[in-house]
Amino acid sequence: MPPNTPPPDDKLEQELRRGVIVLAALSQLQGWQYGYSLRQSLAARGMEIEEGTLYPLLRRLEGQSLLVSEWRIEDGPPRRYYKLSPAGRALYGRLVGNWNALVETVGGLIADDGAGSKRKKDSR
Amino acid sequence: MMTPDAVVEAYVSDVARRLPRAKRNDVALELQALLRDELQGKAEMSGRAADEAMALELVRAFGAPEEVAERYRPAGFTIIPATRSARFAAVALGGVVLQWLGTLPTALLKEPGRELVMLGAWWLTYGLGALWWPGFMVTAAIAGGWVRHRWPPAPVSTWRPSSRDRDEINRTTWVISSIAAAFGIAALVGAPWWAKNFLPPAAAGVFEYDADFLPLGGAVVVAMWTLTAVSCAIVFFEGRWRALTRQIDLAATLLWFAVLTWLVVGPRIFVNDAADEAAKFWMGVVAAMVAIDLAVKIYRQMQRPRAVALAGIVKT
């Protein structure tokens, strides 16, 4: 394995998390938020996202017209605030639907696997 | 000793100079504000004032400036897709090696005793010059990548097989080829007779076979014709190639190459010198074509999924 390459287990976990980061961020952007406050709000709900991942993500989502942003001054220095654009709101709705279906399906698969393993053990 | 703010500022400017000019200033301002917020949060959490070490820890955790700038950049276009990178590297390096192999021996043998000088001269001309090939390939890949980015390939729902069923044969083509082959064989076998009856009397004996050639050479060639005819007949009646007939065909092609090479360098075929030389020249040409055909067949065989890979499969 080349140096500085994370072990395969870490990489798979990262990939799994990466898939839901967009959904998590969009869920907290119904109203105006700036990067740091968004990260804090996600962390407070148990969703820790590295700052190096989240802040560039906001820019990319804005580049895809899913977020709108503006500079604002509210109790402190100027900060760039973001919230969902109409396109972002529509995408968020679709992602929530997909997520719920996925959780149900994968939850079922995991539950089946647990029952299957138990059956195999019992038959020995 | 730097102040925490100076560390953040230096880091942000290092990231910003790697960003596209149009968004550089805006991203830098935002990133600076965010990192200051982060630093303040970190200081509050640890219960002490922010210092240089804390700022360094923060920015190092944020990522290397190149990496962070990369995350802020919109996705560009792929020059060499991952699925083609190994083949790209092989063709690029293979092309350079081929050019070196083709030019180095000549350069070294040109002036015996001055090999080192010739090697230096070769390196500055053909040696380095051979690198035009990878350069050309990269330029073509950039153009291809841009075209794929600008006009993306058709969606998967419109996918069609890119070629016809390679195992199926076209019987009409095979019949025509067989008739042509039969004429060719008749021309070769009957060459002395044709020459005697249709050429001027002075050239009547030009295609007379050498008496020493016919017992061995003639027998080998007739055996090869028979093998080829039988294997072709089996494929013709079955209507398509299968693994066994492909392997027989591969073996037959290899044998043909060996026989033709032997005929070119080996025994005299015709009594007449000019006819013998011409025959050997054309057999050399055919041998080269057979070698190409052999290489293509081996390559295609290697491209096919093989059942051996499934040898460890467990039946349930």
Nearest by CB: B38 against A51, A59, A78 = A51
Question: In this structure, which long-range contacts are made by residues A83-87, counting pairs with CB atoms below 8 Å and at least 24 apart in sequence?
Answer: A83/A29, A83/A30, A83/A31, A83/A32, A83/A33, A84/A26, A84/A29, A84/A30
Cβ of residue B262 closer than 8 Å to a chain A Cβ: no
- Look at residue A1 and tell me if it is in a domain: no
Contacts with A, B 24-43, CB within 8 Å: 26-27, 29-31, 33-34, 36-38, 41
In a domain, A44, yes or no: yes
Among the partner residues B36, B67, B72, nearest to A59 by beta-carbon distance: B72
Cβ-based burial of A38 (10 A; exposed 0-12, middle 13-18, buried ≥19): buried
Which residue ranges make up each domain of chain B?
Answer: 4-64, 84-150, 171-303
The predicted pLDDT at position A86 comes to 97
Q: Which residue of B has its CA nearest to A35?
A: B34
The pLDDT of residue A121: 57
User: How many contacts (CB atoms, under 8 Å) link A and B?
Assistant: 48
> Which residues of chain A neighbour B37 with C-beta distances below 8 Å?
35-36, 79
Supply the pLDDT for residue B22: 87
Would you state the pLDDT for residue A12? 87
- What residues of chain A, 6 to 35, have a C-beta less than 8 Å from chain B? 34-35
d(CA A90, CA A30): 12
Mean pLDDT by 10 residues, chain B (316 residues): 92 93 91 94 93 94 92 83 91 95 90 90 95 96 90 75 78 92 89 83 82 89 92 92 91 94 90 90 94 90 66 56
Residue numbers of B between 50 and 109 with CB closer than 8 Å to A:
61-63, 67-68, 71-72, 74
A49 in a domain, yes or no?
yes
Q: Is residue A89 part of a domain?
A: yes
Segments forming the whole domain that contains residue A113: 8-122
Specify the pLDDT at position B311.
Answer: 53
A76 versus B257: the higher-pLDDT residue is: B257
* Number of structural domains chain A divides into: 1
Question: What local confidence, expressed as pLDDT, does residue A2 receive?
Answer: 57
| pTM attached to this predicted model | 0.56
CATH number at A54 reads 1.10.10.10
Residue B174: per-residue pLDDT: 92
